[in-house]
Amino acid sequence: MTERKPDFADLLMLESVDRDIFRGLCHDGAPMRAFGGQVAAQAQVAAGRTVEPDRRMHSLHGYFLRPGRTDAPIVYLVERIRDGRSFTTRRVSAVQDGETIFSMSASFQRPRDADETHQREAPDVPEPETLRRWWGPIDEAPEYRPFLLIDIRSTTGVPGRAATPPIAAAPGPADGMPRQNVWVRVDQVLPDDPLLHVCALTYLSDLTLASTANLPYMALPGRLDIVSLDHAMWFHRPFRADDWLLFAQDSPSADSGRGLSRGMFFTRDGLLVASAIQEVGLFRR
């Protein structure tokens, strides 16, 4: 029998334990360490399950407090901070073995029309069909196979790996900032659930954002461990995470063992749909 290809939605599936209490499992992002993007996305799912369906998540602010494990469930505890006429606020604590490993605040809004609208122009980059796919077969590390559900194509090389010329030398303003641009999408059709697409984008954002701060230091001797410290996202306009999105990233600062990365997601039509900022710890071994 052929093994069923997993659905991306399965990665965000949670069990309802009690009112405002949910439980899930995460796959590896590093050996025996839960992938932070999945933890954050599952926390979003937990928050969204306690909110009226006419509200759309527009922002999240999360802190990675301890590494999560992949061999034990994670319990998500939701606090109902506020239910207003236009905005709803939730706080989520992800707990494993009695300790909080991730804390997140999320805000939801009832959609409304507005006359005020502007956005940054999307960068001019090659189309995704002209670029090499990042993921190949993952035979040596089967625990990473969930990542095969994601299609990533870099306009400047393979994100987070050595390239010729170096990715850090990607064209851009001479302002000293490392940059990388990648096209990303979930490589299967997702259900028409706005919350699922928002959570999927958080998962996608954690795949390359941290490596942007590391680009100038890849040639230095020794091993550099990258640990996510916090993660924030803003969702500006509706989108689908199973359509191609251009993730334009840069890193304006690194100091004191911390690196800051930021990125913007654009549709193929140039519409800015979301923004992300992440600070990571850079630890040389």
Sequence length of the chain is: 285
pTM of the model: 0.89
pLDDT of residue 174: 55
Is residue 15 predicted with pLDDT exceeding 90?
A: yes
* Exposure string for 137-157, b = 16+ CB within 10 A, e = fewer: eeeeeeebbbbebbbbbbbbb
Q: Mean of the per-residue pLDDT values for the chain?
A: 87
The average pLDDT across 26-49 equals 90
H/E run at residue 48: helix 36-48
DSSP string for residues in 96-158: ETTEEEEEEEEEEE-----S----PPPP----GGGS-BS-----S-GGGGGGGGEEEEESSSS
Q: 266: which DSSP letter?
A: E
For the residues 8-12, what does the mean pLDDT come to? Answer: 94
Angstrom distance (rounded) from CA 272 to CA 118: 9
Q: In the chain, pLDDT over 90 holds for what percent of residues?
A: 67
Rounded Cα distance, 268 and 262, in Å: 20
Q: Does residue 129 have a pLDDT over 80?
A: yes
List active site positions.
206, 228, 278
CA 83 to chain centre: 26
Give the tens place of pLDDT for each residue, 222-269.
666 788 899 999 999 999 999 999 999 999 998 888 999 999 999 999
- The second-level CATH assignment, the architecture, of 8-110+134-284 is Beta Barrel (2.40)
pLDDT at 1: 39
Residue 157: pLDDT over 70 = no
Identity of the residue numbered 282: L
Give the three-class secondary structure for 38.
helix
Q: Could you tell me the residue ranges of all domains in the chain?
A: 8-110+134-284
Most confident segment among 33-37, 136-140, 194-198, 213-217? 194-198
C-alpha to C-alpha distance for 262 and 5, rounded to whole angstroms:
32
What count of Cα atoms within 13 Å lies in the side-chain half-sphere of residue 70? 15
Cis? peptide before 142, omega within 30° of 0: no
pLDDT in tens, 60-93: 999 999 999 999 999 999 999 999 999 999 999 9
Residue whose entry in the numeric block shows the structure tokens 């091993």: 223
